[in-house]
Amino acid sequence: MLTSCILALTLFSRPASVPEVALQPLGDVDAGVVEGLARELSSFFGLSVAVLPHEPLPESAYYAPRGRYRAEDLVSFLDQVTSSAIPHVLGVTSRDISAPKGEIADWGVLGVARLGGRPGIVSTYRLRAGGASDALFAARLDRVAAHELGHTLGLPHCDAPRCLMNDARGRIRSVDASTGLCARCARALAERTSRFNSSQAPSRASARTP
C-alpha cells in the first residue's frame, strides 16, 4: 500500500523547473506577442507559464487546397514534440488553421484544444480583422488563448453569451463581446486550479472593445 502511494506521488509530482503551462511558438510568430501572452495567461490563471523554443510548423499538417494548417494535426504534433511532464501546452501560430465543422470539412477557426487534455493551439491569423489596433489584437489573443487553455483545464463550452467559454465558432465578434468568465465557469475553474482567483479578471482580456 505504501509502495503504491509513493509511486502515485512520484507520478504526480512535477519538478519545480517544469512549468504548468508552456506556450509553443510554431512557425513565423512574433516573439514579443508570445511573451506578452505568457504574462497575461499566468496572471489570469495563477499558473506558471513558460515559452518554449520556436518550432517550425509541421508540413504534415498543411492543407494545400486552402493554404491552411489542420488544427487537429497541430494539436497531435504538439502532444508528441513537447515534454509530457508539462501539464498543458498551447501552440501559437500566425498561419490560418482549420477544423471540420458539421458537414464542412475545412472551417477556419481561431483555436482548438483537447477538453481536459494537454495540448491546444491558437492562431493570430484572424485577430487583425476590422483593422484592429495592437491593443485589440492583444486582447483578442488573450481571450482566444484563455478559452483554449480553459478547455485543457476541463472547462466545456458555456451558453452564457458573454462568457469567455462561449463557443465563438470562428467569429471575431463573439470574441470581442466576451467580458471574462461567467460566475459558473469561474467557480468550476477555481475548483480545478486552486490558485485561480475568480474575482480577478484578466487585465487585457477583459478590456472594453468596440
Cite the active site residues: 148
Segment interacting with Zn ion, rule: CB under 5 A, options 53-61, 72-80, 87-95, 165-173 = 165-173
| Number of residues engaging Zn ion in binding (CB under 5 A) | 6
Enumerate residues 124-163 that contact Zn ion by CB under 5 A.
158, 160, 163
Q: Is 22 in the site for Zn ion (CB under 5 A)?
A: no
Q: Is 51 in the site for Zn ion (CB under 5 A)?
A: no
Dig out the grid coordinates for 122 from the structure.
491558437
Q: State the first-to-last Cα distance of the chain, in angstroms, to the nearest integer.
A: 59
Q: Is 71 in the site for Zn ion (CB under 5 A)?
A: no
Q: Please, what is the minimum distance in Å from the beta carbon of residue 3 to Zn ion?
A: 41
DSSP string, 115-173: TTSSEEEEE-TTTTTTT--HHHHHHHHHHHHHHHHHHHTT------TTSTTS--TT-HH
Backbone angles phi, psi at 98, to 5 degrees: -145, 160
* Contact yes or no for 122/144 (Cβ under 8 A): yes
Q: Is 165 in the site for Zn ion (CB under 5 A)?
A: yes
Strands 68-70 and 62-63: antiparallel
Q: Is 110 in the site for Zn ion (CB under 5 A)?
A: no
Q: Please, what is the minimum distance in Å from the beta carbon of residue 66 to Zn ion?
A: 21
C-beta of 86 vs 113, nearer to Zn ion: 113
- Binding residues (CB under 5 A) for Zn ion: these are 158, 160, 163, 165, 182, 185
